[in-house]
Amino acid sequence: MKHLFYISSFLIGIFLFSCTKQDRENTVIDQEKRIDTYISSLTDVRVVRRDGSNRIVVKEGPSGADTLAAGDSVRFYYAGYVFSGGKGDLFVTNNAEVAQENNFVTDGAVEKKRIDRKDLIPGLYSGMIGAREGETCHIVFSAKYGFDNTVVYNIPKLTPLFFEIWIEEVIKN
């Protein structure tokens, strides 16, 4: 009888886990559809899709300017939002103007990062590859390429993200 209890408990656990996993997958599929709908509504922008990330180039960098590759470093300003059919609630920024508009505290210092998988969340990493010095872009991606099923600071789990990025300098390494 005891074995039957353990087997039943195990099977119920597998069922609940598979439902939860399927629910997460459905949530991500829905997010990606909403992101595609948002991108389809835009005009006069260039969209670069790479590994689940969507870079919407709002302002092109100068022709001939350096482009970011894996391993390069970049100096940039950013503003991170929860995706909500576009920019939703701001959760992080180093851009003084954006901070002031949103009553957000920042020191306004430019960020310098190496373009590396271990230093950036997957959606940002993939979205920044190919960006050009002087470019302004939006990088949008589902929770699968962000924080996935984890709560990070004030960002709920399974949240799609929207980043505004201003590339100040590309440093070839």
Of 19 and 173, more confident:
173
Between 96 and 17, the more confident residue is: 96
Per-residue model confidence (pLDDT) at position 22:
85
Q: What pLDDT does residue 98 have?
A: 96
Burial of 156 (0-12, 13-18, 19+ CB in 10 A): exposed
Q: What is the pLDDT of residues 11-62, one digit of tens each?
A: 344 443 444 888 889 999 999 999 999 999 999 999 999 999 999 999 999 9
Query: Is the pLDDT score of 8 beyond 70?
Result: no
pLDDT of residue 20: 82
**pLDDT (0 to 100) of residue 107:** 86
Residue 83 CB: number of other CB atoms within 10 A?
A: 23
- The residues spanned by each domain of the chain are 2-171
Write down the pLDDT at residue 169: 96
pLDDT for residue 110: 94
For 121-163, the pLDDT digits (tens) are 999 999 999 999 999 999 999 999 999 989 898 899 999 999 9
Predicted pLDDT of residue 18: 43
Is the predicted pLDDT of residue 6 greater than 80, yes or no?
A: no
pLDDT attached to residue 154:
86
Contact between residue 108 and residue 94 where contact means Cβ atoms under 8 Å apart: yes
pTM of the model: 0.87
Q: Assess contact for 63 and 71: CB atoms under 8 A.
A: no
pLDDT score, position 15: 40
Residue 17 confidence (pLDDT): 45
The CA distance from 54 to 41, in Å, is: 14
| CATH class assigned to 2-171 | alpha beta
The closest of 138, 169, 172 to 75, measured between CA atoms, is 169
